[in-house]
């Protein structure tokens, strides 16, 4: 993922544990002039969970996206 990316989609597969998970991140503008980092996660093929974090600037939101994506990659998630 390039620096300043506004989206990431990661998956983690562990067949021996019957694990198939996804983690999706994307940045979107809000109606109030800021930016929201939307995080979605769950089991592939099932409904998951969703959370939004609001940031004042695009740079802040993208920085948080990069930080969270890096943490997930260290836990074994891969870009899909």
Question: What's the pLDDT at 1?
Answer: 38
Q: Report the predicted TM-score, pTM, of the whole model to 2 decimal places.
A: 0.86
Question: What's the pLDDT at 5?
Answer: 75
In the sheet where 78-79 sits, what is the strand order?
49-55, 35-43, 19-29, 7-14, 78-79
Per-residue pLDDT of the chain (80 residues; tens, 9 = 90+): 334 579 999 999 999 999 999 999 999 999 989 999 999 999 999 989 999 999 999 999 999 999 999 999 999 999 98
6 DSSP 8-state letter: S
Instruction: Domains for the chain: give ranges and CATH numbers.
Output: 7-79 (2.20.140.10)
| pLDDT digit string, tens, across residues 7-29 | 999 999 999 999 999 999 999 99
> DSSP assignment of 26-75, as one string?
EEEE-TTSSEEEEEEEEETTS--EEEEEEESSHHHHHHHHHHHHHHHHHT
């Amino acid at each position: 993922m390039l620096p300043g990316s506004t989206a990431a989609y990661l998956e983690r597969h562990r067949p021996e544990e019957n694990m198939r998970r996804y983690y999706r991140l994307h940045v979107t503008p809000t109606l109030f002039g800021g930016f929201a980092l939307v995080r979605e996660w769950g089991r592939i093929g099932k409904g998951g969970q969703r959370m939004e974090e609001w940031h004042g600037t695009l740079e802040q939101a993208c920085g948080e996206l990069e930080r969270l994506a890096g943490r997930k990659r260290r836990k074994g998630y891969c870009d899909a």
